[in-house]
Amino acid sequence: MKVVKFELDKLMLLDQTKLPLVLEYVECKDYLTVCDAIRTMKVRGAPAIGVAAAYGVVLASKEYENLEINNFKENLLKACDELNQTRPTAVNLFWAIERMKKIINKHTEVSEVIQELEKEAIFIETDDLEMNRKMGRHGSALIPNNARILTHCNAGSLATAGYGTALGVIRASSQQGKVSMVYVDETRPLLQGARLTAYELMEDNIPITLICDNMAAYCMQLKLIDCIIVGADRIAANGDVANKIGTYGLAVLAKAHNIPFYVAAPVSTFDFSLESGKEIPIEERAADEIRKIGDVYIAPPTANVFNPAFDLTPNELITAIITDKGVIKPNYTQNIQKVLGNGN
């Protein structure tokens, strides 16, 4: 299923808050609707957010196409800034917007800017899918035969332009007949694992076992897990990884149980400006996301809440980082540079 469908004057976004029971698209005719879709997680997942934001800029360019060039650019750059403010952690958002801003600043004709923005957004989408397939090939080499793999949150087709990052490695490994079971963390509080990953993998006839997040440790103790693979929202130059809340705990458990812990991410997820993960902003989300499941309160409506959407896994807990350019192993500061350069 496609997360993003760009159709000339509108962007259709698969509303992921309604999955897995309802398959419905949100029609975005302007960039503010795209901003809302990102903030409310109708579209989510680091690469998918970047793709949606890029098309949001294209929609904005068409909204302003009758303005003279200076006004056109001023309004367009304001739309870029508003898209940048939707969510703070996934660097793919800022990476995509930066590429669009370069185009806005480079060209001097309104029609030329619009044409080049549309080409760039399409490139960002198609390139992400291609990177995911390459990542799948590189990562599957690490996966043993009859592998029982644990994954967290959703780093699949629903988080990207297709095929997925962590789930791309699982898909490629499954196509090679190497996956005997995927243990899927439900991933509280928004249940991306239960609602999205379980749905995606079952659609592909990949065997899954859904577990609560608090069961992962016991599964490892029972020796049910051969390796763990997750996605990422931002990776610093030293290999520290920001990913869905709960990832750090899995990495600590993996170390304690001597289980390989892999992170899969395209080059657009790396933030080469950050020496370490300490500076990665961790998004905090609304309290009711924890107090409620759907529309039902499962906690006192006025209970205090701490709701960080991500956590930080230090590089020393990561066995390897799987990218579209190849597999990166420690020393990460040195080897990220060697494999990816500075990301250009």
Ligand X SMILES: CSC[C@H]1O[C@H](OP(=O)(O)O)[C@H](O)[C@@H]1O
Is 324 a known active-site residue?
A: no
Does position 46 interact with ligand X (CB under 6 A)? The reply is yes
Contact stretch for ligand X (CB under 6 A) within 72-80, 152-160, 293-301, 316-324: 152-160
Minimum CB–partner distance for residue 73 and ligand X (Å): 30
Query: Of 44 and 99, which CB lies nearer to ligand X in the complex structure?
Result: 44
Query: Of 61 and 313, which CB lies nearer to ligand X in the complex structure?
Result: 313
Q: Which of 233, 271, 311, 324 is catalytic?
A: 233
Number of shown-chain residues binding ligand X (CB under 6 A): 17
Q: Is there a contact between 174 and 270 (Cβ–Cβ < 8 Å)?
A: no
Q: Is there a contact between 330 and 256 (Cβ–Cβ < 8 Å)?
A: no
Does position 171 interact with ligand X (CB under 6 A)? The reply is no
Alpha helices in 164-204 (DSSP H): 166-175, 192, 198-203
Choice from 140, 243, 268, 315 touching ligand X (CB under 6 A): 243
Q: Is there a contact between 138 and 322 (Cβ–Cβ < 8 Å)?
A: yes
Q: Determine the Cα–Cα distance for residues 308 and 194; give it in Å rounded to an integer.
A: 19
Choice from 56, 88, 189, 231 touching ligand X (CB under 6 A): 231
Query: Of 46 and 97, which CB lies nearer to ligand X in the complex structure?
Result: 46
Map residues 290-329 to x or -, x wherever contact with ligand X holds by CB under 6 A: -------------------x--------------------
Minimum CB–partner distance for residue 331 and ligand X (Å): 24
> Known binder of ligand: residue 132?
no
> Known binder of ligand: residue 164?
no
> Known binder of ligand: residue 39?
no
- Window 118-137: residues binding ligand X (CB under 6 A): none
Q: Is there a contact between 211 and 151 (Cβ–Cβ < 8 Å)?
A: no
Q: Is there a contact between 55 and 6 (Cβ–Cβ < 8 Å)?
A: yes
In one-letter notation, the amino acid at residue 292 is K
Does position 192 interact with ligand X (CB under 6 A)? The reply is yes
The structure tokens listed for 263 are 């992170």
Q: Determine the Cα–Cα distance for residues 340 and 323; give it in Å rounded to an integer.
A: 9
The contacts of residue 222 (CB under 8 Å, 6+ apart) are none
Query: Of 46 and 51, which CB lies nearer to ligand X in the complex structure?
Result: 46
The contacts of residue 70 (CB under 8 Å, 6+ apart) are none
Q: Tell me the pairing of strands 179-185 and 234-236.
A: unpaired
- How would you list the strands of the sheet with 10-14, edge to edge? 4-7, 10-14, 25-28
Does position 234 interact with ligand X (CB under 6 A)? The reply is no
Choice from 31, 45, 72, 173 touching ligand X (CB under 6 A): 45
Match 């016991």 to its residue by tokens: 218
> Known binder of ligand: residue 105?
no
Q: Determine the Cα–Cα distance for residues 134 and 105; give it in Å rounded to an integer.
A: 32
List interacting residues with ligand X (CB under 6 A).
44-47, 153, 155, 159-160, 165, 192, 230-233, 243-244, 309
* Active site positions, annotated: 233
Residues making up the annotated binding site for substrate are: 44-46, 87, 192, 243-244
